[in-house]
Amino acid sequence: MPVILITDALVFVLIAVAVGFGLYAARHEHLRGPWLQVGRSPVGVAALVVVLFYVGIGLLDSLHFHPRVEPVAQAAAASQSAVGSDPAADGGGPAAVAQAQGADETAGQSASTRTPTYSTQIISVLDLWLSGLRERQEKTFSAPFATHLFVKEPIEQPDGSVTRGYPRLEHGGAHLADPARRAVDIGLRGLFGMVKGLLVWAALMAVLIGLLAMRWRQSFNERARAIWRGETELPWRVGLITLALMLVLSFVAAELAAKYHILGTDKVGEDVFYQSLKSIRTGLVIGTLTTLVMLPAAVILGIMAGYFGGRTDDVIQYLYTTLNSIPGVLLIAAAILMLQVYMTNNADQFQSLVERADLRLLFLCIILGVTSWTGLCRLLRGESLKLREADYVQAARALGVRHSTVIGRHILPNVLHIVMITLVLDFSGLVLAEAVLSYVNIGVDPTMNSWGNMINSARLELARDPVVWWSLAAAFVFMFTLVLAANLLADVVRDAFDPRLRSAVR
């Protein structure tokens, strides 16, 4: 049974807005040109492929549903009770046999008409896909690719004596009869995953080259040779190489994760690799939905302040100056604490912990949006102050054109590059902000997977001897890769949309 959480609905709305903006940009040269420039950048294409991999995982984790519970086989029980013994052997003859067959038909009809039962648990498509990682839980810590626990425990020997040692894991490396062959098994499985990734990449590359050859009316070999030599307008070679790298890493990780905990387990035995993948949605939701919250206020108030001036400008300046004077962390902490009090007093309104955590995530996005719109508003105010003195704006106002028309046709299109640059630059900052806020326990709900919660739970384990480092390292690597790709893409977008940089290049 499908379940649409609040953040899921907003994610789908954001996707619809992005698709609509893409169609709008494709029809207008002043937007299509800069985006084509982004597509011609090898760095931008490589970063975009990495970001799309993260987005794909986040979308799979945004499709939630109640899993179906298989009903008890009452029909089979009724059939067994009806034919508990051989009717012919009991002396029933053909009549007993017919009665047993009738009982089977009745049980089958009741089973086919039974209403399906659904669990109260809410899981996502990603959870279903990673059910092996989600359900394989150990007792406590285990290192990456380990076959034994990380801490010593009492082990009972065959002779009845008890010694302290490192017991075997229930799932990680359990298929190995001899743990000493672990390195060979890891190498073979990694090689097999690499081959599968390359085969999938080759199939995708063949489809892409075939489509491009049809579009440009070339033979397959000619188009493939042009792409490999880098003679195409768009850097397809860089994009395909990055795609190959991501597919190989994905298939190698999937092949190894089927038998090992490739990033170890945490204190309660949960797979760290599964936690890292589940944390992707949290980072993407905070980085994108926060912009959806702050964008309308920043654009509307910033343009109004710069275009109208006077008292309108004074009121808006007073508003964002006052908001900037309040420390953002204190405002976020106060809002989250108020939400916690509300959820505690109204616990009956939440049917599951997932809905409770989702509401807190949405509230955190709203608070971050409220505290982060002032910077973009100030930039748009300054640009609108300059644009309202332009000759074409003054001519439109002298001819009696309505203010809304002037803003929509002359002001907004000329400040759109500032909006685009700010959005892509703020994304990585918001992803890092979630990690910092969760680290100080005012971020997302502790029951929700996030990189900040992983870092918060791992900070106490750094004092152990030996050090439990893999949870912190996993969160760092996943977050670093996303933020690095987002920053590289943001630099390319800034260079493409900033008029001053474009004029300097020309």
Pick from 277, 265, 278: which is nearest to 171 by CA?
Answer: 265
What's the pLDDT score for residue 100?
Answer: 47
The pTM of the full predicted model, rounded to 2 decimals, is 0.83
Q: What are phi and psi of 465, to 5 degrees?
A: -135, 110
Is 335's pLDDT higher than 90? no
What's the pLDDT score for residue 67?
Answer: 86
Quote the crossing angle between the two packed helices 6-26 and 272-308, to the nearest 10°: 60
Q: Do residues 292 and 368 touch, judged by C-beta distance below 8 A?
A: no
Pick from 317, 310, 303, 311: which is nearest to 393 by CA?
Answer: 303
C-beta atoms surrounding 200 within 10 Å: 16
Q: Please name every residue paired with 168 in a beta bridge, in sequence order, or none if there are none.
A: 148
Tell me what the pLDDT averaged over the chain comes to.
Answer: 83
Summarize the confidence of residues 351-375 as an average pLDDT. Answer: 85
Q: Please name every residue paired with 181 in a beta bridge, in sequence order, or none if there are none.
A: none
Q: Do residues 167 and 155 touch, judged by C-beta distance below 8 A?
A: yes
Q: Do residues 305 and 384 touch, judged by C-beta distance below 8 A?
A: yes
Angle, vertex CA 262, rays to CA 473 and CA 205, nearest 5 = 100
Instruction: Dig out the tokens for 436 from the structure.
Output: 């910092």
DSSP 399-448: TT--HHHHIIIIIHHHHHHHHHHHHHHHHHHHHHHHHHHHHTT-SS-TTS
Cα dihedral across residues 8, 13, 18, 19: positive or negative: positive
Q: Do residues 273 and 253 touch, judged by C-beta distance below 8 A?
A: yes
Q: How confident is the model at residue 101 (pLDDT cuts 50, 70, 90)?
A: low
Summarize the confidence of residues 158-181 as an average pLDDT. Answer: 85
Instruction: Dig out the tokens for 19 from the structure.
Output: 């698709």
Summarize the confidence of residues 430-443 as an average pLDDT. Answer: 80
Please write the tens of the pLDDT for every residue from 182-232: 999 999 999 999 999 999 999 999 999 888 888 878 888 888 888 888 888
Q: How confident is the model at residue 249 (pLDDT cuts 50, 70, 90)?
A: very high
Q: Which helix (H) or strand (E) holds 117?
A: strand 117-118
Q: Do residues 168 and 138 touch, judged by C-beta distance below 8 A?
A: no
Choice between 449 and 100, residue whose per-residue pLDDT is larger? 449
Is 477's pLDDT higher than 50? yes
Q: How confident is the model at residue 77 (pLDDT cuts 50, 70, 90)?
A: very low
Is 71's pLDDT higher than 70? no
Summarize the confidence of residues 61-66 as an average pLDDT. Answer: 90
Cα dihedral across residues 477, 483, 489, 494: positive or negative: negative
Q: Is 72 helix (H, G, I), strand (E, B) or coil?
A: coil
CA 328 to chain centroid, in Å, comes to 25
Summarize the confidence of residues 487-495 as an average pLDDT. Answer: 85
What's the pLDDT score for residue 90?
Answer: 46
What's the pLDDT score for residue 419?
Answer: 86
Pick from 268, 280, 275: which is nearest to 461 by CA?
Answer: 268
Is 368's pLDDT higher than 60? yes
Q: What are phi and psi of 497, to 5 degrees?
A: -100, -20
Specify the range with the lowest mean pLDDT, choosing from 300-309, 392-401, 497-506: 497-506
Residue type, 253: A
Q: What are phi and psi of 489, to 5 degrees?
A: -65, -35
Q: How confident is the model at residue 55 (pLDDT cuts 50, 70, 90)?
A: very high
Is 84's pLDDT higher than 50? no
